[in-house]
Amino acid sequence: MIKIIDLEHEYKKDNNESIKTLNKINIDIKKGDFVSIIGHNGSGKSTLAKHLNGLIIPQKGEVIIDDITVTDDNNIWEIRRRVGMVFQNPDNQFVGGTIEEDIAFGLENIGFPSKDMMERIIYAASKVGMGDYLKRPPHKLSGGQKQRSAIGSVLAMEPDYLVLDEPTSMLDPKGRKEVIEVLRELNKKDNMTIVLITHFMDEVVYSDRVIVMDQGNIVLQGSPKEVFHNREMLKNINLELPKAAILQKMLEEKGINFKDEVLTKEDLVEEIWQLF
Amino acid sequence: MIKDITIGQYIYKDSVVHKLDPRTKILASMFFMFGIFLINNISEYIFVLILSALTIIMSQIPVMKILKGLKPILPLMMITVIMNMFFTQGTVIFSWAFINITREGIYLAGFMGIRIFFLIIFTSLLTLTTSPITLTNGIEGLLTPLKRFKVPSHEIAMMMSIALRFIPTLIDETDKIMKAQKARGADFESGNIIKRTKSLVPILIPLFISAFTRADELAMAMEARGYRGDEGRTRFKELNYKTIDKIILLIFALILIFLIIRKIIL
C-alpha cells in the first residue's frame, strides 16, 4: 500500500519567489486499486507522481511504499523496482534499439539473471500485446505501440504498483484507446495497482477512485460518479466532463430527463434506449 | 535525402554476420579500416571488393540499403577526390591556366575515393548488423581492460549506444522541423553556400532544444527504471567468443599484419 502523509513540495523561481506545487497531500492507495489523478497543467499532479518512486524526495511529509519510507537513499532502488513508472513521451523513455532490448534494459539494471531474461521479456511483451514485435526498433512503431511496450518494460521488473504520468497525452485517439485498454486489463486480470495521471476526463471513468487536483491541493476525491456529480466545481477549475456526460447534459437542456448520470458512451446508450 | 543515412540504423536478419560477437565485428572493422589505407594496387583493391561483397552477402542486408548510405557522404568523397587530383605533385599530364593535373594525382584521387567508399560500406555494415545495445556491450567489452586506468568504459559505451539509438529519432525530427520551416517560407535550396548554411540555423536551434529536452526526460526514465551505472548490472546478451569469431578475427588480423609487414619491407 502507498501512503502519502502531509506531503508538501515547493520550488524557488528565478526571482526567489517560492511556489508551492504540493500542499499537505494525504492519499492512501491500496493494492489492486485503479486510481486516477486529474488536474490541469500546474496542478501538481506530475510532481506528485515523481514522489511515488523517489525521483523527488519529499521536502516535507512522508511517502511510504509498503513498509519503506522514501527518504533513505539506500532504499531508493528497491522502491523504484516496486513502483514502475511510465512517462509522457513514448520516444524519450525508449532506451533499447528494439523492444526486447528495451525491456531487457530494466532487467539488466536490477541484476536479473541473463539466462532467464528472454522468458521474462516474452512474458512482459505479450502482457501488453507486443509479443510479435520483439525485434522492432522504436521508429517502426506507432505511438500507442511504443507506449504499450514502455508499460511492458516496466511490467517485466514485476512492480507492485504502476504509475503512469500522462501516458496518453501525446498519442492519437487509437493509441490512447489501446493504452487504456491495456491498463484496464492489467488491473482486472492481474490485480495490478494502477495510478493514472491524466487530463483526459474520458480516461478516468474506468478507475475505482478519482482524485482531482488544483494548484497543489486535492479538491475532490471519490468514485468517478461522485466526482463528476460536482459539475460546478469542475467547471471552476477548468476541467471538462467526459464526452458522454456533456452530451447527456446537452440533451437534458433540450428537455429530456434521464434516470441516472452517465460517464461512458456505453452507459449513455443504455440510458437512451430506455427513454422511449 | 536525410533519411538515407544508414550509419546508426539496425536491420534485424538471422544471418552469420548478425550472430558474430560484437567485439569480433568491431575489431575486424578496425583492422579493415587500417588495412584499407595500406593497400595500393588494383589486385588488392579487387581482393577488398570481394571481401566486402562476401560480407554483405552473408549479412543478408540488401545491397541497395548499403549503397544508399553512401549518398550523403558523396559531397565529402568528391571534395577529397578533387583535392587529391589538383594538389598532388608529380608528372604533369594536363595543364590549363594554373591547374595542373598529374598522373600521381589521378591515381591518388582514385584510391582515396575507393578507400572512403569501402570505409563507409564497412562502418554501415557494422551498425546495420549490430543492434545498439549489442554494439555497446562490444565496446564495453573491448574497453574493460582500460578500467584499471579509470576509463569509464560502461558510461562511454552507454552514451554511444544512446546516441545511436536516437539517430533515427532525431533524423525524423529534423525532417519535421524542415517541413515546418518550409511551410513558413524558409528556403534551404537556393542561394550560395553561405546563404544555404545560414538557412540551417532555424533547423538547428529547435533541434538542439528538443535534443536537450529528450536527454533530460530520458535520464529520468532511465533512473526510474533503476539505472545506476554498471553497478550490479547483468547482461541480456552475454558476450562469448565462438570458433567462428576466432576464425574471422584471425583472417582480418592476418591480412592487416601482412599489409603492415609489406609496408615496412618495401
Determine contact: A110 vs chain B, CB below 8 A: yes
Q: Which residues of chain A neighbour B136 with C-beta distances below 8 Å?
A: none
Closest residue on chain B to A52 (Cα): B224
Between A91, A113, A154, which is nearest B169 by CB? A91
ipTM reported for the complex, 2 dp: 0.87
Q: At what angle do helices B132-143 and A99-109 cross, to 10 degrees?
A: 40
- Residue from A52, A76, A77, A101 whose CB has the most chain B CBs within 10 Å, to mutate: A101
Among candidate residues B110, B161, B112, B142, the one with its CA nearest the CA of residue B29? B142
Looking at the structure, tell me whether residues B84 and B53 fall in a common domain: yes
Contact B220 A87 (CB under 8 A): yes
Among candidate residues B251, B227, B244, the one with its CA nearest the CA of residue B31? B251
Shortest Cα distance, chain A CAs vs residue B213, angstroms? 9
Looking at the structure, tell me whether residues B228 and B251 fall in a common domain: no
B189, part of any domain: yes
Closest residue on chain A to B213 (Cα): A92
Between B10, B172, B234, which is nearest A113 by CB? B234
Shortest Cα distance, chain A CAs vs residue B233, angstroms? 5
Determine contact: B231 vs chain A, CB below 8 A: no
Looking at the structure, tell me whether residues B14 and B121 fall in a common domain: yes
Determine contact: A138 vs chain B, CB below 8 A: yes
Contact A108 B236 (CB under 8 A): yes
B255, part of any domain: yes
Counted residue by residue, chain A has a size of 276
B29, part of any domain: yes
B149, part of any domain: no
Looking at the structure, tell me whether residues B24 and B61 fall in a common domain: yes
Q: What confidence score (pLDDT) does residue B28 get?
A: 92
Among candidate residues B129, B131, B123, B130, the one with its CA nearest the CA of residue B58? B129
Domain span at B201: 154-233
Q: At what angle do helices A143-156 and A99-109 cross, to 10 degrees?
A: 30
Looking at the structure, tell me whether residues B197 and B65 fall in a common domain: no
Q: Which residues of chain B neighbour A165 with C-beta distances below 8 Å?
A: none
Q: Is the pLDDT of residue A14 over 70?
A: yes
Q: What confidence score (pLDDT) does residue A109 get?
A: 92
Q: What's the alpha-carbon Rg for chain B, to the nearest Å?
A: 22
Shortest Cα distance, chain B CAs vs residue A32, angstroms? 21
Looking at the structure, tell me whether residues B202 and B262 fall in a common domain: no
Q: What confidence score (pLDDT) does residue B238 get?
A: 78
Contact B221 A93 (CB under 8 A): yes
Place of cell 460536482: A230
Strand partners of residue B99:
B96
Looking at the structure, tell me whether residues B82 and B125 fall in a common domain: yes
Determine contact: B175 vs chain A, CB below 8 A: no
B86, part of any domain: yes
Shortest Cα distance, chain A CAs vs residue B157, angstroms? 13
A67 to A3, A7, A71, A171, B238: CA distances (angstroms): 9, 17, 12, 36, 36
- Residue from B158, B175, B225 whose CB has the most chain A CBs within 10 Å, to mutate: B225
Looking at the structure, tell me whether residues B8 and B119 fall in a common domain: yes
Mean of the pLDDT values across residues A116-136?
93
- What are the boundaries of each domain within chain A? 2-91+143-224
B142, part of any domain: no
- Calpha distance B139→B22 (Å, rounded): 8
Q: At what angle do helices A143-156 and A173-189 cross, to 10 degrees?
A: 20
Q: What confidence score (pLDDT) does residue A161 get?
A: 95
A177 to A3, A131, A152, A200, A241: CA distances (angstroms): 30, 19, 16, 12, 18
Determine contact: B159 vs chain A, CB below 8 A: no
Q: What confidence score (pLDDT) does residue A166 get?
A: 92
Mean pLDDT of all residues in chain A?
89
Q: Which residues of B65-74 are buried (b: 16+ CB within 10 A; e: fewer)?
A: ebbbbbebbe
Contact A95 B236 (CB under 8 A): no
Compute, in degrees rounded to 10, the torsion defined by CA atoms A161, A164, A168, A174.
-10
The tens-digit pLDDT sequence of chain B (266 residues) is: 455 555 557 788 888 888 899 999 999 999 998 898 888 778 888 888 998 899 999 999 888 888 877 887 888 888 888 888 877 777 777 777 777 778 888 888 888 888 888 888 888 888 888 877 788 788 888 988 888 888 888 888 888 888 878 888 888 899 999 999 889 888 877 778 888 888 888 889 999 999 999 999 999 999 999 998 888 888 887 788 888 899 999 999 999 998 889 888 87
Least confident among A109-113, A193-197, B164-168, B250-254: B164-168
Q: What confidence score (pLDDT) does residue A28 get?
A: 92
A46 to A14, A37, A39, A245, B177: CA distances (angstroms): 21, 9, 10, 26, 28
Q: For A87, left (φ over 0), alpha (ψ -120 to 50), or beta?
A: beta
- Calpha distance B50→B55 (Å, rounded): 9
Q: How many domains does chain B have?
A: 2
Question: What are A167's three cell numbers?
Answer: 501516458
Mean of the pLDDT values across residues A239-254?
86
**Residue A105: HSE in the Cβ half-sphere, 13 Å Cα cutoff:** 31
Looking at the structure, tell me whether residues B160 and B178 fall in a common domain: yes
Q: Which residues of chain B neighbour A96 with C-beta distances below 8 Å?
A: 132-133, 165
> For the whole model, what pTM was predicted?
0.78
Q: Which residues of chain A neighbour B220 with C-beta distances below 8 Å?
A: 55, 87
B145, part of any domain: no
Question: What are A276's three cell numbers?
Answer: 422511449
Tell me phi and psi for residue A146, to 5 degrees.
-60, -45
Contact B236 A104 (CB under 8 A): yes
- Calpha distance B263→B266 (Å, rounded): 5
The 3-state DSSP class for residue A98 equals coil
Q: What confidence score (pLDDT) does residue B4 get?
A: 54
Q: Which residues of B119-143 are buried (b: 16+ CB within 10 A; e: fewer)?
A: bbbbbbbbbbbbbbbbbbbbbbbbe
Determine contact: A169 vs chain B, CB below 8 A: no
Contact B172 A139 (CB under 8 A): yes
Q: At what angle do helices B243-265 and B22-36 cross, to 10 degrees?
A: 20
Determine contact: B172 vs chain A, CB below 8 A: yes
Considering the segment(s) A2-91+143-224 as one domain, its CATH architecture is 3-Layer(aba) Sandwich (3.40)
Q: What's the alpha-carbon Rg for chain A, to the nearest Å?
A: 20
Q: Helix/strand/coil (H, E, C) string of B218-258?
A: HHHHHHHCCCECECCCCCCCCCCCCHHHHHHHHHHHHHHHH
Looking at the structure, tell me whether residues B30 and B91 fall in a common domain: yes
Terminal-residue alpha carbon distance, chain B: 44
More confident residue, A199 or A94: A94
Looking at the structure, tell me whether residues B210 and B258 fall in a common domain: no
Q: Is the pLDDT of residue A194 over 90?
A: yes
Determine contact: A143 vs chain B, CB below 8 A: no
Q: What confidence score (pLDDT) does residue B1 get?
A: 44
Looking at the structure, tell me whether residues B22 and B106 fall in a common domain: yes
Interface of B with A in 14-33 (CB under 8 A): none
B257, part of any domain: yes
